[in-house]
Structure 1
Amino acid sequence: MSTSRKTGPVLWDIDARGVASVVLNRPEVNNAYNAALIDGVLEALEALSDAEGLRAVVLSGNGRHFQAGADLTWINAVRESDAEENLRVSAATAEAVRLLNIAPVPTIALIQGGCFGGGTGIAAACDVVIAAENALFSIAEVRWGLTAAIIIPQLNDAIGVRQVRRYALTGERFGAEEARRIGLVHEVVPLDGLAAAGEKIVGHVLENGPDAIAETKALTLEGAFADIIDEGFQALVEAHAAKRQSDEAKEGLASFAEKRPARWGA
């Protein structure tokens, strides 16, 4: 499998130091995820896992926003598909976040602009998160009658159950400084300093023993919320998929398409 991709919804490459760059590349829709972007992330992570001498992965998004959650038009099409396809989509999304979470090398997310829904799950699954001052976050699934089931374990690890109980239930947006306060973000920098801040972290990583890093990360993840057995992982996937095909999700997604408030319980 190629260790670089120069075109498509997800770009990746590895430099001479063994530092990989993975770039979400749907700027025309604020990097909202659909099947192509999910499959691209999976392909990138699988390709990089086979790369010799990999030392770190830096994840970023092209354009004004890092990742503006799901492409809701696509989500609605998935909702109307058969149960098998609906489940496949949830499984692929969950697997992409899982692979990012357990990568044996440090993962560093550089976030600017919007980071909504699944974007917060991506951030929570990374080891180090640096946000620009203009970053804006939300765990927004409940706004559309959906659940964040497949990213809840990573969010519980990153910000703790208490904060998830607020932000995953309200769907409200919060800024970079609040994200740092609750633990989702490690550092907040000016937008024009985002790449340099990421490079500083990479520099620290490269000073350390790669085997020691891998062992330390594996030990850290033991017993974490996201370190769940296959049965638990599958249950999250099934819950995520089932909720997408509920009447409540149908109404939530219709409200988005029709640009109106949702009529819950109507």
Structure 2
Amino acid sequence: MIVPDRHKPIRSELRGAVMDVVIDSATDLITVDAMRLLIEAFEAATIENALLLVIRSAGDEFTLGRDQNERVEGLSRDSSLRMILTANDALRGFPGISICAVRGRAFGFGAGLAVQSDLTIAEESASFAFDEVLHGLAPLIVAEYLPRYVGHKPAADLIFTGRSLSAEEALRVQLISRVVADGRLDEHTTELCDHLMSLERGALRLMKRYLLDVGANTLDNPRDSAVTRLDAWLTAGRPDRPGSAGTQGLPLPRPGASFSDANQT
């Protein structure tokens, strides 16, 4: 469990090639200030050339989503909703590998973070829901992207009913990547990050860029582009490989360690 710091609802720290982002809300809801901090952290991960972007929570819940009762003077509803688009774009467009580690409930915007991350690990007792409709809202932003990740039928089921999924069901519909035993989330997240950090980093970035372009339908001939890009990367000497200057990262904190502890290793 991460040592909580109640001064900020979102804490982020770049350590080597790893950007750690921690949701630390006393109410388990994402406020406008928290959204701004999330966007800043996601964009900073790209600007600082991080290889990994890790998103997790300090408490027993991942997040219950946006604070629907919050009213901020000078901020229109349109502007508030567009912050979701900005956050989603910054997360999906991150050129490295994004990892979401979920314990407890990931509802609304929290479920969106989980499904849009490249890799998502969840504890057995975790649950997921796009529950906006239960609050009288129409999750049109979710309806735009969710079918691309899980298909039309599962997406329609989730957004029309607002029902929650267990971690195992979320795994079956491809909302998440892995399910681990309760109490072992930090351990498995650290192991995954250590493994990714040991791989050819240029290869990871190359694959991520290709997947983004394929998903955006920007390639006239995806198969030809795959060959051309791979050949160019190999010819260039596999740039950004492990150990290259400026890419050496630090391991994530071991279970029970705080982020400040890890920063001193």
TM interval, shorter chain, is 0.7 to 0.9
TM-score (norm 1): 0.74
> Which residue type is aligned with residue 68 of structure 1?
L
Name the SS of the counterpart of 1:214 in structure 2: helix
Aligned residues: 214
Bigger mean CA deviation after superposition, 149-158 or 88-97: 149-158
2:37 maps to which residue? 40
> Which residue type is aligned with residue 27 of structure 2?
V
> Which residue type is aligned with residue 135 of structure 1?
A
> Which residue type is aligned with residue 10 of structure 1?
I
Residue 55 of structure 2 corresponds to residue 59 of structure 1? yes
1:25 maps to which residue? 24
2:202 maps to which residue? 211
> 1:104-140: per-residue Cα shift (whole Å, max 9, x none)?
0100000011111111111111000000111111111
**Aligned ranges for residues 126-145 of structure 1 at < 5 Å?**
126-145=117-136
Bigger mean CA deviation after superposition, 184-193 or 98-107: 184-193
Report if the CA contact (8 A) 1:97-1:151 is conserved.
no
Structure with greater helix share of residues: 1
Whole-Å separation in 2 of the counterparts to 1:15 and 1:96 = 21
> 1:43-87: per-residue Cα shift (whole Å, max 9, x none)?
1112222215x210110011110010121211xx36xx78x7111
Whole-Å separation in 1 of the counterparts to 2:24 and 2:113 = 15
Percentage identity across paired residues of the two chains: 24
> Which residue type is aligned with residue 179 of structure 2?
V
> Which residue type is aligned with residue 59 of structure 2?
G
Name the SS of the counterpart of 2:76 in structure 1: helix
2:255 maps to which residue? none
2:154 maps to which residue? 163
**Aligned ranges for residues 230-245 of structure 1 at < 5 Å?**
none
Compute the displacement of 1:208 (Å): 2.4
**Aligned ranges for residues 7-22 of structure 1 at < 5 Å?**
7-16=7-16, 18-22=17-21
Compute the displacement of 1:154 (Å): 3.6
Report if the CA contact (8 A) 2:105-2:128 is conserved.
yes
Compute the displacement of 1:6 (Å): 9.6
Residue 68 of structure 2 corresponds to residue 72 of structure 1? yes
Whole-Å separation in 2 of the counterparts to 1:198 and 1:153 = 29
Report if the CA contact (8 A) 1:112-1:131 is conserved.
yes
Compute the displacement of 1:177 (Å): 0.6
RMSD: 2.2
Report if the CA contact (8 A) 1:64-1:113 is conserved.
yes
> 1:216-240: per-residue Cα shift (whole Å, max 9, x none)?
112212343xx399xxxxxxxxxxx
Name the SS of the counterpart of 1:11 in structure 2: strand
Name the SS of the counterpart of 1:164 in structure 2: helix
Compute the displacement of 1:90 (Å): 1.0
Report if the CA contact (8 A) 2:6-2:24 is conserved.
no
TM-score (norm 2): 0.75
- Of 71, 77, 85 in structure 1, the residue corresponding to residue 76 of structure 2 is 85
Name the SS of the counterpart of 1:208 in structure 2: coil
Compute the displacement of 1:8 (Å): 1.2
Structure 2: gaps (5+ residues): 219-265
**Aligned ranges for residues 107-122 of structure 1 at < 5 Å?**
107-122=98-113
Structure 1: gaps (5+ residues): 230-266
2:241 maps to which residue? none
Compute the displacement of 1:7 (Å): 4.5
Q: Against the structure 1 CA distance between its residues 14 and 7, is the aligned structure 2 distance closer, same or farther, given a 3 Å change threshold?
A: farther
Name the SS of the counterpart of 1:155 in structure 2: helix
Report if the CA contact (8 A) 1:69-1:118 is conserved.
yes
1:248 maps to which residue? none
Report if the CA contact (8 A) 2:55-2:99 is conserved.
yes
Compute the displacement of 1:212 (Å): 2.2
Name the SS of the counterpart of 1:191 in structure 2: coil
> Which residue type is aligned with residue 41 of structure 1?
L
> 1:168-197: per-residue Cα shift (whole Å, max 9, x none)?
111111111100111011111122110111
